[in-house]
Amino acid sequence: MRANAAALCLTVLAGAVVCSAQTAPGPGASTLQTTYSTVYCAGFVKDTKVPDELRVVSGEQPGYKIIFGQGERVYINQGSDKGVRMGDRFMVVRAVEDRSRMEWFKGQTRIQRAMGTIYSDIGQLRVVSVEPKTSVADIIFSCRPIERGDIARPFEERPVPPYKEAGVFDHFAPVSGKPVGSVINSADFQQSQGQGSTIYVNLGSAQGVKVGDYLRVFRYQGKRDETAPQTKGYAYEIYGYGSSPTRYEGKDLPREVLGEGIVLNASRNAATLFVTFSSAELYPGDSVEIE
């Protein structure tokens, strides 16, 4: 289960990604760390357009290569006449969207659009040759293969949030009373997420979220927004599966605290959350609160 295993991936060869799984050592313990790859491959959500005039337009051996990886060279569409210099570093990003068009919960697409555009972190470049209108750059770090048309932006340092000590996860944590939002999507657009995953939530700086904050993921019983198949009243009426003599609504039952994560990026109404622990699968529509 993804709740018990995390995949932290680093590109170590051109276009090749190596993943190593890490298993939680015991109930409630969390041993994941925020690494360079975790921080610089997390992606982000912006409610303003990222300037996109600087692009990767080609690379070496373009006759048969359509993607480029760490250790290879690419060409960008600006040179000395636009101020590009030898040694300049750039971050490569790409606007992405879920092409499945399927909503996991009602209103997911609308909320996603309100949050802004999801940008995937692709890699980093260092300029090694400059001409008047173009430049050549080494790919010095990559999260995934670089493609023609990817956006290049001046490199910006990202803080590596302090990681709190591993401890027993509180499955019965009381309501914090701080702003509450939802899991809206994930970096890979898969529905089921868990420890080691990167997810996007609709809480941001406008709600007081900042890099390094911890958010708690939880779920109340009785929600039927998700598209997982359910039979109405199955907890009370399906023969052979037991029944409760009293019908309880979700508001009458304890919430289920599922996991927690650390904020890697925060924009006005969205945040990138690295899941440091989960006791079960996390899904879009699950709730989040600032711890």
- Supply the DSSP string of 134-176, one letter for each residue: -EEEEEEEESS-EETT-EEEE------PPPPPP----TTPPP-
Return the half-sphere exposure (C-beta side, CA atoms, 13 A cut-off) of residue 92: 29
When pLDDT is cut at 50, 70 and 90, the band that residue 223 belongs to is low
Residue 240 resides in a domain = yes
Statement: residue 21 has pLDDT above 60: no
Task: Provide the pLDDT confidence category of residue 242 given band limits of 50, 70 and 90.
Answer: low
Return the exposure string of 144-157: e unless at least 16 CB atoms fall within 10 Å of the residue's CB, then b.
bbbebebbbeeeee
Structural domain contains residue 78: no
The pLDDT of residue 236 is above 50: yes
Domain residues for the domain of 174 are 159-290
162 DSSP assignment:
P
Read off the pLDDT of each residue in 230-254 and give the average, rounded to a whole number.
Answer: 65
- The number of domains in the chain is 1
Share of the chain above pLDDT 70, in %: 79
The answer to whether residue 246 sits within a structural domain is yes
Q: Is residue 220 included in any domain, yes or no? A: yes
- Does residue 120 sit within a domain? no
- CA neighbor of 39 nearest in space, from 148, 110, 124: 124
* Number of alpha carbons in the 13 Å side-chain half-sphere of residue 248: 12
**Mean pLDDT across the chain, nearest whole number?**
83
pLDDT at residue 181, rounded to an integer: 96
How does residue 239 score in pLDDT terms, banded at 50, 70 and 90? low
Residue 62: pLDDT band with limits 50, 70, 90: confident
**Torsion-angle region of 153 (φ positive above 0: left; ψ -120 to 50: alpha; else: beta):** beta
pLDDT at 59: 94
Q: Tokens 């293969």 sit at which residue?
A: 145
Q: What is the pLDDT of residue 1?
A: 33
Residue 47 falls inside a structural domain? no
**Average of per-residue pLDDT across 81-103:** 92
Q: Is residue 4 part of a domain?
A: no
Question: Is the pLDDT reported for residue 180 higher than 60?
Answer: yes
Of 278, 271, 125, nearest to 199 by C-alpha is 271
Q: Is residue 151 part of a domain?
A: no
């089921």: which residue's tokens? Answer: 192
Q: Tell me, what's the pLDDT at 160?
A: 87
The confidence score (pLDDT) of residue 74 equals 97
Question: Cβ of 121: how many Cβ atoms within 10 Å?
Answer: 25
Phi, psi (deg, nearest 5) at residue 29: -85, 145
Mean predicted confidence (pLDDT) in 22-30? 38
pLDDT at 118 over 60: yes
pLDDT confidence of residue 101: 75
